[in-house]
Structure 1
């Protein structure tokens, strides 16, 4: 017989949305924050020469594009307009990576993480300090390259421009970080992921226009559309794939009543890390490449910079190899952070659950880890293929980054997670309605 939760889930529909006031407020809040984010992409840094900046990006596109296009898509066009959020949320992601690495290496930080909510707040505070430091360093480097590249008006060049750029970029990145946290706390979905998602979606019209005005044949365009549809289907199929480990619970007696044993499943996703690995790998590769791309625009740039950008250019073997290696590393690293087999085995043991044929405790943890590692191998290979092969084809055929594998992976995953949260809110609203009805019926009987 289906449980009450299963019955509610099967009857779940959006007709209940009109009565879910809390969900509507959350959705409206999320949309408002994303609109604010889009407005911020049009607030320029002080002192920038817009004509020189436009000529620089036009030159980059005429040369077949560069890594600047990738950063520009992630920032929703903010880099091309050189707005106060040109660095987007990438410094915060880089600081999060550093903090998570330090947490695994430092016993003090590891102990702090186990303190619960208080420890999490402390780690988040350290992450914010790291974000400010990284943004200041990257902002200063960007100010120098803009100034030496002739993209700053002559009357504004100098120390004042450098200071104002650093302050503006730090303020913009911290604003984005705060907006993302507000969405996570008071809206629907993960705020940081939704900000990246909004940036990619905002660049889709320009990507479609670029395809429409290109010399691509009709057959190639149809092949691109078919490939995009197939890629979306593959991502949805893999992201929903699970390996379910059977869990059994023995018979137990409570008072004078004997309860029969029950069975359930421990679901392990094929891709436990989600979109984090490609985002982390991109953030590590993109910032040095961005500075190098700006530097190479200065009268040809130093020879070593040109060599560096050439080796790590779009579709180049070294870039694809480093990108794939970063994705695989972060797939294992992030999975080890979000899922601890030992803790799961201990929780099962406390509640009397066990895997058939496996002893509770250490043996169960080893078995769960055995399954998880093999799932992560498949998931990491899937992520590497999804993100690198379309990247190679995109570079060879001048396809915009917004139509690449990484972009589709982020858009599909964020959409699925957000829809799942909406369903959860609707389900909770239906539960509240049932509880109220039961109370009313109980009062009438009395």
Structure 2
């Protein structure tokens, strides 16, 4: 079994770039087909009202509308994303997990297996929770043991399939499989967003005014996309000097990305903010009174509403959470101690500082400032889009805010992987040509 597994991985790596892209597109097509086949005993009107009113539009966006369809892939990537967050948080309190993550390819493979197993368990829990909790409130028609069991098994199987499809796509070495599926899901929601924009901006007024509103909003979206691209590509260059005798003294730089923590802080914060909303669906008493108002502040579609400005307090809570998670995730994704140690091993030093603790402190201070600046800009852009959507009456759009940053990051990562793949193949081709071999490109 191990031999077959390694053979499959090797053969996938040897495929041409176009064959890899074809396989990826075919896999994503399967995901989209499965996301649009609803279960026959699901009440779509109930889930539509739930997603519209309760501020769970982002959840529907990352599932590519399959949550609205309550299809075979209703859970989509959400169990795996949640599992990844949980396991990453656990590395802080579990030295075993932390060492496993750092222990080369073997340790990383074990770490991924634990994440996948956690994702499978969460898929079962989420599927059962939806089937039992929401099913009793009108999601399943009829609501009986057969429909509950059927929905639980189908949704669990769909979630597990997505997890292992993502692992399969990882083996093509053109980027993260789960990220590709997530990107595909978000892009699949764009037509629905365009329809919403058209309906809201053409409901009244002269044609010229309607066209002006649509063009203005399109320019805002393009501006946000451009800002996301700039933020994702901005680097802080930290000067270092190579001091080993073998290489001589040479100046170079060590890059610190503006988006040091990527989109993880906003995903963490978004997950925390949506949790009370989800719990309230299983406990109807939380939907009224003081508890109802508190939960309403967690609803992104209620923020920046001029009629109810108090609910905008949730935006402040969201910003504070992203800042807190930036501090937290920085130690996981950009560990200053590890970086200082690696620089020391490679013979690189920061001018004016000794290797070890002084270098570590300088890297930590600079990376913290850069990460906080990046998070502030990213959170500001996301809240700006929430404000624009709320004031214009659009509610929550899939292409706004967090989704935009996710898509830009995935596209840039895929671009790097494809360029690397092409460069490697060109080097191999030149090697064979120099050896006097004729090859077919």
Q: Do Structure 1 and Structure 2 share a fold, with TM-score over 0.5? A: yes
Q: CA deviation at 1:161?
A: 2.1
Aligned-residue offset at 1:436: 2.0
**2-structure distance, mates of 1:56, 1:343:** 46
- 1:411 matched to 2:407? The reply is yes
Corresponding residue number in structure 2 for 1:310: 296
- 1:248 aligned residue: 241
Q: CA deviation at 1:291?
A: 5.4
1:132 and 1:302, CA in 2 relative to 1: closer, same or farther beyond 3 A? farther
Give the corresponding residue for 2:114: 126
Question: Per the alignment, do residues 302 and 129 of structure 1 end up closer, same or farther by CA in structure 2, a change over 3 Å counting?
Answer: farther
Q: Distance in 2 between matches of 1:55 and 1:165?
A: 16
The Cα of 1:118 is off from its aligned counterpart by: 3.3
Correspondent of 1:387 among 377, 382, 388: 382
Structure 2: distance between partners of 1:351 and 1:46? 61
| Secondary structure at the counterpart of residue 68 of structure 2 | coil
2:196 to 193, 210, 226: 210
Tell me the residue number matched to 1:322.
Answer: 317
Give the structure with higher Rg (CA): 1
2:68 aligned with 1:80: yes
Unaligned runs of 5+ in 2: 1-13, 203-209, 304-310
Matches of 1:301 and 1:328 in 2, distance apart? 28
1:32-431 to structure 2, matched below 5 A, reads 32-45=26-39, 47-49=41-43, 53-54=44-45, 57=48, 59=49, 65-154=53-142, 157-186=143-172, 188-215=174-201, 217-250=210-243, 252=245, 260-290=248-278, 292=280, 303=289, 306-313=292-299, 314=301, 315=303, 316-399=311-394, 400-431=396-427
Query: Do the aligned residues in 1 keep the contact of 2:75 with 2:159 (CA within 8 Å)?
Result: yes
The answer to whether the Cα contact below 8 Å between 1:327 and 1:380 also exists between their aligned partners in 2 is yes
Output the CA distance in 1 between the equivalents of 2:434 and 2:327. 47
Contact 2:260-2:367 within 8 A present in 1 as well: no
Task: Kindly state the Cα deviation for residue 84 of structure 1 after the two structures are TM-superposed.
Answer: 2.4
TM-score by length of 2: 0.84
Residues 146, 350 of structure 1: alpha-carbon distance in 2 compared, 3 angstrom cutoff:
closer
User: Which shifted more, 213-222 or 78-87?
Assistant: 213-222
CA change 1:60–1:174 in 2 (3 A) is closer
Q: Deviations over 1:268-295 (max 9, x none)?
A: 1111222222233323333542453587
Distance 1:287 1:176, change over 3 A: farther
Q: State the alpha-carbon separation in 2 of the partners of residues 84 and 113 from structure 1.
A: 33
RMSD of aligned Cα (Å)? 2.7
* Structure 1 contact 248–356 (Cα < 8 Å) conserved: yes
Partners of 1:46 and 1:60 in 2: CA distance:
19
CA distance in 2, matches of 1:295, 1:67: 17
Cα pair distance change 1:28/1:330, threshold 3 Å: farther
SS in 2 for 1:268: strand
Query: Which of 1 and 2 has higher RCO (CA within 8 Å, sep 6+)?
Result: 1
> Which of 423, 435, 438 pairs up with 1:439?
435
1:415 Cα deviation (Å)?
1.0
Deviation at 1:175, TM superposition (A): 0.9
Shift of 1:134: 2.4
- Asked if structure 2 preserves the Cα contact closer than 8 Å seen for 1:242 and 1:268, the reply is yes
* Contact 1:149/1:295, CA 8 A, preserved across alignment: no
